[in-house]
Chain A
């Protein structure tokens, strides 16, 4: 009996248990349904007006209690009865006065969404939401279950056909059959542009067409992934997202001469297929992660942090606007890596997503504990905090040698000055004036009167030209002849030096005579700076003092040259400075009598007061020898320290003193609130720093790299860069204001594969490009346009226009002008010459035949070509390029000089062939990778026949037509 009782009890227990299990199972299904289908709809379409404090019409939809209680019109939902539920009536738009969501807030839901809501109400409206605890702009529970934050599924063992299965399932659901595979020519053109940003060459096309093996396309993909041009194309995608630029963006938009190292590192990383988690970690904390490793590896880590350093700078004094730079960093990091608009929480909690102001300042502290390279700004001109790429010991060694040389050369210089000063003593004692200070009026000529004098060998005649009182430089022509009386009747003429002035100073002129050119303010100071041209005129040669205009110069041309004034042909000039006379000295090679003659002319009449000159004889035979010695030593110093050693540096970051940030109330950096410890975002667990003595970048690199959201965001980008549109069409926003994925399971599957395969981007390319979806034709029927105009179902491939870079690179490639070698630094003006102000900011456009990803991109002034063809925004993350079609683009194809030049070069290539048919054929094969049709040949021949010009011009015109054609700048 007892046993029976026990048995019954057990039986009953089981029964009871089974019953509750059943109920629990149904509830679980209901809640799963709610999580999967309903919560996202409510968050996305309803919460803006019906959650938290925003209870329009008294209705709250962010808790179960909310809809039970209902609003002004009563309970919103009657569980089990969709037709009686106000909410369902509203979303069905049954009643005009109760149509939700309203037209100006997104409008009617999709049929799928309405059906889901109906189903949910029908099964009793299961709803696990009990409280409405807020986390930033989201209910805390909603945040926890937000689709993008969920763990990734396990990776699949079997990958073959999986992607297509996801896509085909959805197509079948809409009763659609995908279009056929594209032909081989289309495929190779698509793949080559996709992976390298360049068109395939005719040879590559022929090889692919001839390859009949089943994996022929896979081989093409592998070949392209091995091309160094791959990294330029895919690295440029990354530069779009990180808003790369070559200038700082503050009020003077200063150049960043070292940012290129980061740009090139990005390109190389893609080429090396660097695992993407490492790629991210290095950009956030490469200097810390690689510390203690080999110099080469450490340098890579340092350069990678250029990602942080290229943050935009703001204002007049950058240091005073550092909080804006930090916002730019946090904003970009959020959008770029996490698909979250973290920057929105600077002044208040996020309005829609689970990010609090405290989260913002927790991250802020990490970057406030980081020292960013300083590009300089108007009040603080000198760049600082650039990170050297050599060890301190190596720098010291290089600098020590140089510093020693500098010190020695200074001593040498001092000695020389002393020596020259002694000359002045001789000069003072032996100087005899031949002509006292003589005025030459503005634009006038004054002759040197014929004068006979006896010289001894080594004595000096010197002619000094002075500016007059109130002005500086004036160009003065000197004609001066010294004629030997008797003896060999030798003649020395200053104009004899014109053709060989660049040979030296002092300048030997034969027969032992020497000409010397120097400044004679104090002791003779030789003009030691040789110039092979003046104002881009190579017929003008000069000797100057370092860095100023004080000079002598000649016009070597047989024609007058027009510069600041008209300089007569074959003439010798001096150009004194304010209070600084220039002297021409003649060292006599003979003992005997000479006759002096000549003239001094002001050749730059400018309404001032002319110049004056003196002619003197220094009657000391040691003087000439000593003067020549000073000249020799000045122009060829025995010790030359050379230019300062170029220590390679990176525009990068390192750790600074670790600090926690304080709240900036309403985003105002002057109103500081409580301190916020550095930590990770609360929605992801608020992890704190393991090493608070560092900035926290090392930890944040891990937090970000290991977050499943990061994997989802990047695989979505990779997908988008292949297909033109992401599975999530808002690639920078995976939060509640973003779009939900068109194929959620596919996105998760891709992310899981990506992680499981070691974050290899090239592997993702292979996976994606090997699918039927990628290889479909882009032919679209009217039906497709009607049913799926945006091609979200991927039943066909989306035709696209080439990007700005692709257009320019293609023009260069087909014209044979492309230089495929990577570029390095831009030809910025030397830092020592910078004097940029907000009145005169930096502004330049540099031409290059290298790939367009190497064009210099300025923040304050858009590059004219890139701006015209929808290039990336250098001020903010560009998640996807726009494609605009504006007539100014057509004007480019009609009249731009660069375009015309490429067309001309292409025409030259074609003209190497013998007849027009061959040329037309060749043009089509180079540009479009196919043979022309008969119609196209006819259009070509007729055009060439009718075009009223010489043959070269005809072909240039025809090249322009083809280069402007739609087929050339679109990819099927």
Chain B
């Protein structure tokens, strides 16, 4: 395959040199007809080759998980003033009061990073993790903030970060998609969170829904021996056709080849999601029972298996656009949601580490925004949306473990020291993957677009 591609490329290049008629067009053609998924080198040597992007949907409370705020406990019930987007002109929110965290924090690992009791298992991995406590974002609506953390755009449809990575790096395994999203349900903003938008279609995210048939149309509808006969006949007919058309149309050839890849995918995809060869110890560590095909543990183990098979970008979404971390009514819903992901995430990090994959794999844990350190009564059970501050963390892939970056003020209201905007997180992720976020661009509608728009700063302290 590679040899063929390089020949084709060479041929096109030589025709560029020979013609000089319309160099712009030829360049475009070279890009178009050249295999868009062929592996490509990044701008500079990358720290990470793959990404596992763990997205906790609904807005995880930072002050109850990764950002300890003793002053918030101390000042519980104290009235404060804030020009906050969520309470502006909202009836019943004329007065607001600080609300204490509901879980205890304690130092973890050798690094001593404090984590709350909601994440005991992840807590044990803190020596590998760099927590960013000074995240902030541009919108406090689920839809917009979710779109923003995925595409860098808070209103318009734009390519997802996974599509950008696929566009930049191509794929290592032609039998599997290069950008996979494993989600039991759709989150806010629907398919836009993993859409290629204006990037070429091969860079769109492929949705995997945990269950018996994870990828659409991947299960053979006829027995494979019969299907092989059909494909053989198709191949003969297409070859006859190609020959009758002069034998030199890259489009026809590409489509002819795509059936071979598809046939391979019918094996490779189920194989990637078939855990029968995993040991009981491994399954146990992810809190999985033999034969189980759902749950966040399943998603995490699938992610490790996809990394092993060369998939560049894997996103795991824990729940959907309802029944998630959006704890307006009662913070206690964080207990079940944390329990759902805590052990599987820790198992994933340990598993990657044991297999020597963590150095090449960047694990990103994030949510769309935080939750307010206050509410409109001192004894309110829930918390509201909070775009001013939240916590994310990174592990592996060249990230310094056991550190904490940035701080919020004493009550967790605002990111004060070394604030990291969503655009900065994106710039940093691209940097770890070997890209200068200002140079990974795509010309569309007359201008060059990039993931970070006109913003973004690499957080060097994390590297």
Interface residues of A (CB under 8 A from B): 106-108, 110-111, 174, 251, 253, 314-316, 321, 324, 335, 341, 344, 351-352, 729-730, 732-733, 735, 737-739, 742, 778-782, 785-790, 792-793, 799, 801, 838-841, 843, 858, 860-862, 864, 867, 870, 873, 875-876, 882-897, 900, 933, 935-936, 939-940, 942-943, 946-949, 957-958, 960-962, 964-967, 970, 972
Contacts and interface: CB of A to CB of B under 8 A. Distances in A.
Interface in B6-30: 12, 14-15, 18-29
Interface stretch (B241-249, B358-366, B375-383, B421-429): B241-249
B143 A316 contact: yes
Contacts of B204: 867
Contact of A957 (B222, B248, B321): B222
B201 interface: yes
A888 B217 contact: yes
B285 interface: no
Nearest to A879: B445
B245 A799 contact: yes
Given A315-B141, A890-B262, A957-B230, A789 B254 contact: no
B19 A787 contact: yes
B386 interface: no
B15 A860 contact: no
Contact of A838 (B15, B222, B321): B321
Contacts of A739: 24
Given A780-B249, A862-B191, A886 B237 contact: no
A939 B236 contact: yes
Nearest to A900: B221
Contacts of B202: 884, 886
Most buried by B among A733, A888, A946, A965: A888
Q: What is the predominant secondary structure among interface residues of chain B facing chain A?
A: helix
Interface residues of B, number: 82
Nearest to B30: A789
B22 A961 contact: no
B262 A887 contact: yes
A54 to B, nearest CB: 16
Contact of A891 (B200, B262, B445): B262
A801 B26 contact: no
A884 B254 CA distance: 10
A939 B237 contact: yes
B209 interface: no
Contacts, number: 237
A894 B26 contact: no
A638 B177 CA distance: 65
Q: What is the predominant secondary structure among interface residues of chain A facing chain B?
A: loop
13 contacts: A106-B24, A253-B190, A352-B446, A735-B446, A785-B248, A841-B190, A867-B191, A884-B36, A891-B262, A894-B217, A896-B217, A957-B229, A966-B252
A779 B245 contact: yes
Interface string B69-88: 00000000000000000000
Interface string B309-328: 00000000000011000100
Contacts of A867: 191, 204
A873 B246 CA distance: 34
Contact of B155 (A324, A841, A958): A324
B24 A949 contact: no
Contacts of A960: 230
Contacts of B252: 799, 966, 970
B447 interface: yes
B337 interface: no
B258 A883 contact: no
A894 B155 CA distance: 38
Given A894-B217, A894-B220, A801 B248 contact: no
B155 A890 contact: no
Contacts of A737: 446-447
B141 A861 contact: no
A895 B12 contact: no
Nearest to A860: B190
A891 B155 contact: no
Contacts of B248: 780-782, 785
A108 B16 CA distance: 12
B321 A787 contact: no
A891 B23 contact: no
Given A780-B248, A838-B188, A733 B445 contact: yes
A894 B266 contact: yes
Given A841-B321, A894-B262, A790 B155 contact: no
